[in-house]
Structure 1
Amino acid sequence: MRRAGALAVLCATLVGAPAAKAQSLLVDAEAGFDAARVCPTLVVRFAAPLDLLVQSGGQGASRIDLILRPDGDDTTEILEFDAPVTVPAPVSSAVAATGIALEQSGADLVLNITFARPVVTDATMAPDGRRVTVAVAEAGGANACLTSLTGGGDARPVDPSTPASDDGDDGDDGDLSGIEADFVEARAAITAQNYNRAIQLLTRILSAPENARSAEAQELLGVVRERNEQFAQAQAEYEIYLERYPDGDGATRVGQRLTALLTARGAPPAPLRTATDGTLARPDDDEPAGEDISLALDQAAARPRPATPARDTRRPVGDPDDAEEEESLPKLEYSGSFTSRYFFRQETARISDFDTARRSVDDFVLQNSLVNGVNFRGVYETADYILSWRADGALEFAFDDEEENVRVSRLYVDYDPKRSDLSYRFGRHLVRSGGVFDRFDGLTASWRRDEAFSAHVQIGSPVDSVRDPLFEFDRLTYGISLEFEEVFSHTDLSIYAFEQRAGSEVDRRNIGFELEYEDDVFFASAAVDYDISLDKLNYARVSATRRFEDRSTLTFSLDYVQSPTLALTNAEQGQAGQTLDQLLETFTLAEVRQFALDRTTASRSATLSYFRPWNDTWLFNADATVFRTEGNPASGGVPAIAAPGTDVYASIGVFGSGVLSESDVLSASLRYADTSSATLGLIDASYRFRPTERLRVRPRLRLGHRDLKASGGTEIFAVPTVTIDYEVRDSTQLELEVGGRLSRTRTPTTLDNRTETYAFLGIRQEF
């Protein structure tokens, strides 16, 4: 639905620029973290603006489909492609994505993301339409991320005697040392009675996949919430522990604490005090549960831990005999992974023209490339500061044109002095504060006064693509964001302001806020972004979710989005390659501002979604979206684009876990779309099973039919695939996917039969 980006592509074609290749539309993907929802995230980037219309199969499934709308009918021919295109999935067990593919489906695009385990997800599109962020929580788990997405666990409890995931991963790739560091810091925060900080750290540990500290963190989170007089939350945390770890070492102790909490008379437990020896002491000898928090900490640390992966380079934390070694400084920790993936796609097109009786057969290679990626993280800690770094990048070699493409998604260093409230990050990184920026090269300085308030200042240059050279600084961006937690009861607020300059002119000057409210049964959020330079609303969103006792949820959202994001440089679109400075030599600044507004398209949407677990095996979800986009007026020599009208999308899906065997996963969904260019019906079914402990097989079949409104034709298509994952050993995984797409498109004058086959082979080595 984002027509402004379509205008750029169309006008470039009219002035002789080569048409955009479908392969370039899908740029890259990476793993991240959403601190607000305490969720790991998968971020997928696109070369052109797209709209996210609906998410299907995302609640408790091992794959999701995101239906995206390109920039209207004018780009259908330019962006039309029948073969799915892919980018490598990021190496992260927290996200556990195993495949990312984009394919054409009528006038729409379908972004298919597969995961190594059943997940609950929430996808949001950035205001500029070039980035979709998917928050990922493991289905069947019990952690803060899952709670933030659904209001509670949505699948069967995880057996603590088995790994939380069935993909053989032992933890977040490279994040195990981070988990240990968070646990040590959480213990220190508890000792200092900084309970809010401890809650934040323990929640972050629990947001990761099941790991060596999950049980301890779950117990301590309940204890800390109780000491922080958050009695309802403490009760919930204790109950989660007993549900997930009924035979755990702390089950008896947690049961006693829960009983004491439920039977306590009126007055809440007295706050902890610091003993003369520096340990935490009980306020009263007759305190319920019979144990102080320091004892709980010591017992948690002394309990036997599951074996950590060999790639964890630091000494295991928690052995009392090694306490001095554990805290000895300075110390160095590092981890990482290397991936190598080969992609091949080939298509055969057989076209018959009824009028001329001509037939043609064309064979061509869509993709033949090797992508090598590296992920490296490290931490160096002294008594005075913590220095950490991260490098994520890839080198792609295309065999057909023998070209190499370097991608740098992250390359930064963090400096965190221990005796200061300030911290710094420099390099290529993501700025998440207040939703101000995307990726940029530069410096972020953060100041946290306490858990209720923090401030962030950024200065640098925006990065449009991971292929951009480092520190190009073609535009200057600077801004500030302020975050307030519990500004009102159950309410968090973030406000921000920033400016971006292109040469001597202001490109963007935005102010905005994000407001979130959440209690036990209701969640609501609102966000507004306004460009005060162009004097126009850039983005607005209101969303509300109601959680019910049967664990079902109902969500309604309204969106208003400008695409691309309002900026003075939008005036360059359709101007035959003229830059902003060149336009200002011919037109006045007021005229150029109007051109920028005319090249920007507003869209409105309303979405209603419902999710409900039927029982311990089956889950159900349904959603519907109504979408409407404005047109673009003619100005500056650029022709007008008419509004495409109203589009309607709907889907229903079911997901089953443990249907035929304990480890299998079955999912099926039906999708319907009525758009300005086509009417689409799609059936999607998949089944995952494990023949052996280290082998996982996932066959999948999609069958679709669409009526093409412009040509009066019809298309039927089938997309069968088989994905095989094999764990050679704990640190080495092999991936194989083979499949194809068969389609037949009949119009009054032509018959088009296409057969596409593809294969993907990859290996991942962790260290």
Structure 2
Amino acid sequence: MISRKLLTTLIVFLAALPGISVLQALPATEVYNVLERLDVKISPASAELTIRFSIPVNYIGHTPQKSGKTILIRVKPLAQNAPDVRNFKRNPLTSTSFKSDEVLSWKSSSEMPLQDVRYIGSATGGAVIEVNFTRAVSFNLVQSNDFRSMTLIVAGTSKAETNPKKSGRKSRYNYTINLNTSSKSFDLARVNSKEYPAGLTFYTMTTNVEGKTLHHLRVGFFHTAAQIRDALKAIRPYYKKARVMLASRNDIKNARNANPRLKLAASPSQQPKSIKNESARSMMNRAKRSLIGGKYQSAIVLYSRVIKKFPNTRKAQDAQEFLGVAHQRSRQFAHATKIFKKYLKKYPKSKDTLRVKQRLNALLTASKKPRNKLKNRQASKKPKWRVRGNVFSTLRYDKRKSSTSPTKTDTTTFVTSLNATATRSTKKDTVRIRFSGSYINNDSSVSSAGNDYRISYMYYDYQNKLSDYSFRLGRQSKYSGGVQGRFDGVSFDYRINERWKVNTVAGFPVNLSTNGAITTDKYFVGLNVDLATNSKYLTYNLFSIFQTVDGISDRESIGGEIRYLHPKHSLFVVSDYDTSYQALNKLLVVGNWRFNNKATLNVSYDYRRSPLLTTSNALQGQSVASIRELLLSMSEAQIRQLAEDRTAAFRSFSVSGSYPLGANWLLNGDFVVSNLDATTASGGVAATLGTDNEFFYTAQAIRSNLFKSGDSTAFSVRYADTTNYDKWTYSALLRYPLSRKWRVVPRIEVDFQDLNDGSDIRTIRTALRFEYRAGRRHRFEFETGYTSADFNNSTNDRTDTNIYYNINFIANF
């Protein structure tokens, strides 16, 4: 049976057509989605938000440093094929830095007060990830060792627990962190405990699920929330599935076998089933979650504690009833009967007395039935599906005008979107189904842009925890193992042991310009292997991939990744060599240094073919639309030569850094030098000119909490010294919370561009956005902007203007 929530989501999606978009910006020209999904994990001392990326992303710096309501993270994407420097040749009227936002929304809760995560890709100072919470939180930021995710470890699961003064309070209980679970055993000799905080004990555990033995690698023990958060910060980059849990008697027994001198906060008999909370409300909430989640012993402990600590209160009365329910569901019928009778005796005039009588009568009746039938009913209970996502709609109106023409261009664009993920998880496996699609309706006064629909993601993902394999079937995105983006197909992963993981992939590359339809002219198969080393900091990936187009070779590549992630420095290397063309397609080397004062230094060298060298590049400038048609008039060798002629080499070297000035200031700087080779004229296609060395300089200052707690301000300046022009760009942006529900975001950007032919362009862009949050699920945004570009040369001067209005609505579920 499909759950009502899953069915409702499907109905909402069908009602949303005609209009669906994954990105908040119009996705018609978007090639790369940087944000893939958000994962949230709740643990006793913290909540973890993992931002997963579709492409490798390098961390530069963030502000504020330790706590805040809005967190800004400076990043640098590492997988674009088209060089960013070409963006400076855009139309200054239509290409603003305000249109490259991606948004992933979240339904906030007390455990994770997250509002949304935004990727702002074309800000003058560089790409920024903006994380918005509904209240201020204390956090630690950790980047994964494969550069494809970042984790925010948020302190505490309630407002009281976010107080740093309370984070050091010692618990009388022992907590442990489950680092990894596998059907293969773990070798403790490979774990170098000296690389982790002192005083920790690594040990192994085994459990039995459906007749199969699972092995667990764990580390303990922790007695304060601060200890847990510090350990997670050190562990998370290398153990992505780490989770905090209460230590059991078996945990303590196995840990003592590994370390006889182990220090405990309490004896095993003192271990509770859940964390002690300060207030009756928080205890009741935790007890309710335990009851719903089937953790009945934990619920019993918490409900009993509420009754004892807060007698003669409404909470104690409610706890008395649900304590009986918890005993009933754990099949302790005698206890449940006694508790319900005690409730009726103590609260005979309560409005809930009738309901408790019904519970008691049902219990007495059910207890007379055969026990095997009750067991069968319990065994037939199926895991529930959890559905998360959002529906997004936007209406945009643009009016453009030029001083040299009386004609005005009016454009209205309506976009609606759906991004939904359904997840079902058991001890045996995890199933995830995802859909993200888009439909855009364009209406222009001078041209018929028509409608456009896209399916960005539509896949079924299965992970078997008992046998250490997983697969994903459908439309998906991958930027590793030689795969260069979206494809329709299947990927399969199998972990041979703790150090070896084999990944296979096969499918059809997706061309979004075909409205998301499956195209079968290109097909690829690939194999890659992840290798772990004796050092926890160093991992490798080696790949081989073969791609055909219309029956001939399109691409044959080998390569890999080197990933070294130390807390103080890191190295990321990506290589791609085409054995068929005997040419290097890509070489990316990124080095990072993190200093004790939290300053960072990043150095990178990037060599790549632009576009990626494939036989399909031969179609550029041709009158035919497929390689099959081209083969009618040319040989395969001639086509391959055309492909090489259409492909240029791009090189860049960059140095960037960040320096936190106090708790709220972040200073950023970037220097980039790049050049692009010329292409050769052939096949009726003219040559393209290359560039000299082009230089780009950027400076940025970001200030949090400048005018009010929760605000952020960014000032940026950029200078470009290119082959054809010089350009200065100045920008300023303010994110200001007017109240808990309202936020205003004014922005301004000014360009001064001098071309080599003596002409110049002066451009000013302004925008003002209002955001209103209506509860946890709904948000409204209104934005208006104005752009004016003055073109001055010896023969003709003109001024182009554009004004736009944008209304957005986002509903989370």
TM > 0.5: yes
Letter of the 2:139 partner, please give it: G
Q: Please give the alpha-carbon distance, in whole angstroms, between the structure 2 residues aligned to 1:142 and 1:195.
A: 30
Q: Please give the alpha-carbon distance, in whole angstroms, between the structure 2 residues aligned to 1:73 and 1:385.
A: 45
Q: Quote the residue 1:395 is aligned against.
A: 439
Q: Secondary structure at the match of 2:707?
A: coil
Q: Please give the alpha-carbon distance, in whole angstroms, between the structure 2 residues aligned to 1:256 and 1:569.
A: 50
Q: Please give the alpha-carbon distance, in whole angstroms, between the structure 2 residues aligned to 1:44 and 1:462.
A: 16
Q: Secondary structure at the match of 2:415?
A: strand
Any idea what the Cα deviations from partners look like across 1:423-449, whole Å, max 9, x if unmatched? 221111123443523111111111012
| Count of paired positions | 634
Q: Quote the residue 2:552 is aligned against.
A: 505
Q: Quote the residue 1:288 is aligned against.
A: 263
Aligned counterparts, 1:642-661, within 5 A: 642-661=689-708
Structure 1: gaps (5+ residues): 1-21, 46-51, 119-137, 166-182, 200-220, 230-236, 242-248, 259-271, 352-358
Counterpart contact for 1:29–1:90, Cα < 8 Å: no
Any idea what the Cα deviations from partners look like across 1:213-266, whole Å, max 9, x if unmatched? xxxxxxxx979964269xxxxxxx999x9xxxxxxx9348869999xxxxxxxx
More moved, 490-499 vs 395-404? 395-404
Of 399, 407, 414, which residue of structure 2 is paired with 1:362? 407
Q: Secondary structure at the match of 2:481?
A: helix
Q: Please give the alpha-carbon distance, in whole angstroms, between the structure 2 residues aligned to 1:389 and 1:238.
A: 35
Shift in alpha-carbon separation, 1:653–1:746, aligned structure 2, 3 A: same
Aligned counterparts, 1:232-243, within 5 A: none
More moved, 59-68 vs 661-670? 59-68
More moved, 90-99 vs 406-415? 90-99
Q: 1:566 and 2:579 equivalent? A: no
Letter of the 2:492 partner, please give it: A
Of 133, 142, 145, which residue of structure 2 is paired with 1:144? 142
Displacement of 1:635 in angstroms is: 2.0
Shift in alpha-carbon separation, 1:497–1:282, aligned structure 2, 3 A: same
Shift in alpha-carbon separation, 1:191–1:315, aligned structure 2, 3 A: farther
Counterpart contact for 1:282–1:292, Cα < 8 Å: no
Q: 1:514 and 2:561 equivalent? A: yes
Shift in alpha-carbon separation, 1:331–1:645, aligned structure 2, 3 A: same
Shift in alpha-carbon separation, 1:766–1:715, aligned structure 2, 3 A: same
Q: Please give the alpha-carbon distance, in whole angstroms, between the structure 2 residues aligned to 1:111 and 1:621.
A: 9
Q: Secondary structure at the match of 2:140?
A: coil
Q: 1:335 and 2:335 equivalent? A: no
Q: Please give the alpha-carbon distance, in whole angstroms, between the structure 1 residues aligned to 2:100 and 2:684.
A: 37
Return the TM-score normalized by structure 2.
Answer: 0.66
Q: Please give the alpha-carbon distance, in whole angstroms, between the structure 2 residues aligned to 1:659 and 1:279.
A: 52
Counterpart contact for 2:613–2:647, Cα < 8 Å: yes
Displacement of 1:153 in angstroms is: 11
Shift in alpha-carbon separation, 1:455–1:302, aligned structure 2, 3 A: farther
Q: Please give the alpha-carbon distance, in whole angstroms, between the structure 2 residues aligned to 1:716 and 1:116.
A: 33
Letter of the 1:144 partner, please give it: V
Letter of the 1:362 partner, please give it: T
Any idea what the Cα deviations from partners look like across 1:528-559, whole Å, max 9, x if unmatched? 10011111100001121122121111111111
Counterpart contact for 1:152–1:551, Cα < 8 Å: no
Displacement of 1:477 in angstroms is: 1.0
Q: Quote the residue 2:352 is aligned against.
A: none
Counterpart contact for 2:482–2:576, Cα < 8 Å: no
Of 19, 37, 40, which residue of structure 1 is paired with 2:51? 40
Counterpart contact for 1:339–1:762, Cα < 8 Å: no
Counterpart contact for 2:81–2:612, Cα < 8 Å: no
Q: Quote the residue 2:130 is aligned against.
A: 115
Counterpart contact for 1:347–1:363, Cα < 8 Å: yes
Q: Please give the alpha-carbon distance, in whole angstroms, between the structure 2 residues aligned to 1:287 and 1:78.
A: 64
Any idea what the Cα deviations from partners look like across 1:491-537, whole Å, max 9, x if unmatched? 11001111111121010111111002232322112211001111110
Counterpart contact for 2:184–2:498, Cα < 8 Å: no
Q: Please give the alpha-carbon distance, in whole angstroms, between the structure 2 residues aligned to 1:533 and 1:294.
A: 67
Displacement of 1:567 in angstroms is: 0.5
More moved, 393-402 vs 613-622? 393-402
Of 417, 433, 444, which residue of structure 2 is paired with 1:373? 417
More moved, 88-97 vs 679-688? 88-97
Q: Please give the alpha-carbon distance, in whole angstroms, between the structure 1 residues aligned to 2:156 and 2:230.
A: 22
Of 469, 475, 478, which residue of structure 2 is paired with 1:431? 478
Q: Please give the alpha-carbon distance, in whole angstroms, between the structure 2 residues aligned to 1:586 and 1:491.
A: 50
Aligned counterparts, 1:225-624, within 5 A: 226-227=201-202, 250-251=224-225, 282-283=256-257, 286-291=261-266, 298-300=273-275, 315=292, 320-321=297-298, 330-351=382-403, 359-365=404-410, 367-381=411-425, 385-400=429-444, 401=448, 403-465=450-512, 468-486=515-533, 490-577=537-624, 579-624=626-671
Letter of the 1:25 partner, please give it: T
Q: Please give the alpha-carbon distance, in whole angstroms, between the structure 1 residues aligned to 2:599 and 2:799.
A: 44
Shift in alpha-carbon separation, 1:759–1:295, aligned structure 2, 3 A: farther
Q: Quote the residue 1:758 is aligned against.
A: 804
Shift in alpha-carbon separation, 1:482–1:395, aligned structure 2, 3 A: same
Displacement of 1:88 in angstroms is: 6.7
Displacement of 1:56 in angstroms is: 10
Any idea what the Cα deviations from partners look like across 1:573-625, whole Å, max 9, x if unmatched? 12222532333333332222221111101011000011111111211110100
Letter of the 2:263 partner, please give it: P
Any idea what the Cα deviations from partners look like across 1:472-505, whole Å, max 9, x if unmatched? 3221111111111236562110011111111210
Q: Quote the residue 1:206 is aligned against.
A: none
Shift in alpha-carbon separation, 1:667–1:56, aligned structure 2, 3 A: farther
Q: 1:736 and 2:782 equivalent? A: yes
CA RMSD of the aligned region, Å? 5.0
The percentage of counterpart residues that share the same residue type is 20
Q: Please give the alpha-carbon distance, in whole angstroms, between the structure 2 residues aligned to 1:442 and 1:564.
A: 23
Displacement of 1:676 in angstroms is: 1.8
Q: Please give the alpha-carbon distance, in whole angstroms, between the structure 2 residues aligned to 1:30 and 1:150.
A: 10
Letter of the 2:528 partner, please give it: S
Counterpart contact for 2:121–2:127, Cα < 8 Å: yes
Letter of the 2:807 partner, please give it: L
Counterpart contact for 1:414–1:425, Cα < 8 Å: yes
Aligned counterparts, 1:703-742, within 5 A: 703-710=750-757, 712-742=758-788
Q: Please give the alpha-carbon distance, in whole angstroms, between the structure 2 residues aligned to 1:255 and 1:160.
A: 12
Displacement of 1:158 in angstroms is: 6.9
Displacement of 1:763 in angstroms is: 1.4
Counterpart contact for 2:52–2:148, Cα < 8 Å: no
Counterpart contact for 1:342–1:760, Cα < 8 Å: yes
Letter of the 1:288 partner, please give it: K
Letter of the 2:94 partner, please give it: D
Greater radius of gyration (CA): 2
Q: Quote the residue 2:17 is aligned against.
A: none
Counterpart contact for 1:139–1:153, Cα < 8 Å: no
Displacement of 1:397 in angstroms is: 2.1
Displacement of 1:757 in angstroms is: 1.2
Q: Please give the alpha-carbon distance, in whole angstroms, between the structure 2 residues aligned to 1:222 and 1:628.
A: 46
Counterpart contact for 2:200–2:220, Cα < 8 Å: no
Of 662, 670, 689, which residue of structure 1 is paired with 2:709? 662
Letter of the 1:454 partner, please give it: K
Displacement of 1:139 in angstroms is: 11
